[in-house]
Amino acid sequence: MRLLIAGYSTRGFAECFGLSSLARDAEWSLVTLDYFGDSDGQLWGETLSLSRDFGSLGYSPDGLAEAAATIDYDAFAYVSGVDNRPDIIERLTRGKMLLGNTSGAAAKARDFERLYALLGASGVLCPETHYGWKGPPPPGQWLYKPMSSGGGTGIEWASDQSEAPEGYMLQAYADGRPASVSFVADGAEAAVIGLSEQLCGLGEFGAKGFTYCGNIVPLSTCGSQGGSLASASGSLRRKVDRMVGLVVRECGLRGLNGIDFLVTAAGDPMFLEVNPRYCASMELYRQLRGADLFGLHAQACGGKLGRESGTAVDGEGHPGRYFGKAIVYAPRDLEVTNTGAWYGLGIRDVPHASEAVSRGAPVCTVLASGRSRDECLMALQEKQGWVIDQLTGVYGKGGDLGRPASQRIA
């Protein structure tokens, strides 16, 4: 069986496939198609890039579908960048086995108006949202949020001097700690894998605005962002579980999925959106608990929730260590040189030698761990500094990643 994984960036899910005992025992093979075609993706199968192998000037789901038509594959799974286009899902799964949500389920997951109404009526917090709003926003802080996007891109502050662009909704800004929940579902029931903190718009990694730049797992019950959640952590988990169940049943979700939410000052989850596919945070649960994420995904798509789904990788009762990842964005136009040793140093999405990276574009992803949430974040920052130093030589804080340190980088 030859599996095609396609989307904006496939390396994370490809690595989960490559390390999966289920995929190995079934003797599956892999081909990936995305925009980057990162060098470390080749460790897990054939890696194809829209920009390098098909001469595309940029990423688009339509370009992805055109390129996929030239590839021989038996089964299809998708990541970010495809879930917004049910028509592309339909096109790429014609005559193939689908490992993921159907086009209909993906469309339901992107029906914000229906989901917000359902969840709000069921007592789940949702931000005040208006669709097709004309004219200046009401008093207060508001956001223009695209109806179909990913990674926090395209979100803008609303102002009296502008109107919501076509395809955007007007949403009230809400204070809270950005978080996500990963879960596996069989179309009717779900098992939560874990909760994570989302890192968004952190300037130290070169991110701006609301742009996604990483995760830390598990979601800390106390940390520098959002204060202490210790008294509300049990209640939070129960409310998240209920939110997940409502969304799964409404959309008919299967396989790996995620929900982005805010943790309010009162310790309640505020639903933002559902991501009906593998999410970037999920590879961290493999580090945390050794979860076979691709195996869980494949089994759930076949209607079977693995016995270990909700226990072996649950964020509660973790082994006293936090695991994180962060996307490093280029501070200026760069040309990548020797990256041969990067993978062994806990760096992923490694660009090819002599590859040009434009200012503001992602360079790579760094992985790190620590005994606390803050120590893990510090380790991510140290490794990000090392990467930029290797590429520019001007920051002077690269250091030796192989040395022992109190903020251990792993």
The 3-class SS string of the chain reads: CEEEEECCCCHHHHHHHHCCHHHHHCCCEEEEEECCCCHHHHHCCEEEEHHHHCCCCCCCHHHHHHHHCCCCCCEEEECCCCCCCHHHHHHHCCCCEECCCCHHHHHHHCCHHHHHHHHHHCCCECCCEEECCCCCCCCCCEEEEECCCCCCCCCEECCCCCCCCCCEEEEECCCCEEEEEEEEEECCCEEEEEEEEEEECCHHHCCCCCCEEEEEECCCCEECCCEECHHHHHHHHHHHHHHHHHHHHHHCCEEEEEEEEEECCCCCEEEEEEECCCCHHHHHHHHHHCCCHHHHHHHHHCCCCCCCCCCCCCCCCCCCCEEEEEEEECCCCEECCCCCCCHHHCEECCCCCCCEECCCCEEEEEEEEECCHHHHHHHHHHHHHHHHHHHHCCCCCCCCCCCCCCCCCC
Alpha-carbon distances of 250 from 18, 191, 224, 305, rounded to whole Å:
32, 16, 35, 18
Question: Does 335 reside within a domain?
Answer: yes
The pLDDT of residue 342: 96
Question: Does 247 reside within a domain?
Answer: yes
Q: Which of 139, 111, 115 is nearest to 127 (CA)?
A: 115
pLDDT along the chain (410 residues), means of 10: 97 98 96 96 96 84 95 97 96 97 97 96 97 90 86 84 86 95 97 95 84 93 49 80 98 98 95 97 94 96 73 49 95 89 96 91 96 96 94 55 38
The pLDDT of residue 222: 59
The pLDDT of residue 246: 98
- Does 74 lie in the same domain as 13? yes
Angle between the N-to-C axes of helices 11-18 and 293-301, in degrees from 0 to 180, rounded to the nearest 10:
90
Provide the number of structural domains found in the chain.
4
210/191 Cα distance (integer angstroms): 29
Question: Does 315 reside within a domain?
Answer: no
The pLDDT of residue 76: 98
Q: Which of 271, 301, 331 is the last residue of a domain?
A: 301
- Does 211 lie in the same domain as 285? yes
Dihedrals phi, psi of 23, to nearest 5 degrees:
-65, -40
Instruction: Read off the CATH number of the domain in which 20 is found.
Output: 3.40.50.20
| pTM reported for the whole predicted model | 0.91
Exposed e or buried b per residue across 343-358, where buried means at least 16 C-beta atoms within 10 angstroms of its C-beta: eebbbbbbbeeebebe
The pLDDT of residue 221: 67
| Structure token digits, residue 359 | 């200012």
Q: How far does the chain reach from its first CA to its final CA, in angstroms? A: 34
Question: Does 208 reside within a domain?
Answer: yes
Beta-strand relationship, 29-34 and 168-172: unpaired
- Does 199 lie in the same domain as 150? no
- Does 219 lie in the same domain as 295? yes
The pLDDT of residue 4: 98
Tally the C-alpha atoms within 13 A of residue 179's C-alpha that lie toward its C-beta.
28
- Does 341 lie in the same domain as 276? no
Question: Does 221 reside within a domain?
Answer: yes
Q: Which domain holds residue 138?
A: 128-172
- Does 183 lie in the same domain as 296? yes
Are the C-beta atoms of 103 and 251 separated by less than 8 Å?
no
- Does 14 lie in the same domain as 65? yes
Question: Does 402 reside within a domain?
Answer: no
- Does 334 lie in the same domain as 296? no
- Does 167 lie in the same domain as 192? no
Question: Does 108 reside within a domain?
Answer: no
111/105 Cα distance (integer angstroms): 10
The pLDDT of residue 410: 42
- Does 87 lie in the same domain as 23? yes
- Does 90 lie in the same domain as 71? yes
Question: Does 238 reside within a domain?
Answer: yes
Instruction: Read off the CATH number of the domain in which 253 is found.
Output: 3.30.470.20
38/64 Cα distance (integer angstroms): 16
Q: Which of 326, 327, 332 is nearest to 391 (CA)?
A: 332
The pLDDT of residue 288: 92
Q: Which of 45, 79, 99 is the last residue of a domain?
A: 99
The pLDDT of residue 312: 37
Instruction: Read off the CATH number of the domain in which 365 is found.
Output: 3.90.1170
- Does 296 lie in the same domain as 182? yes
Measure the CA angle with vertex 283, ends 277 and 288; round to 5°. 135
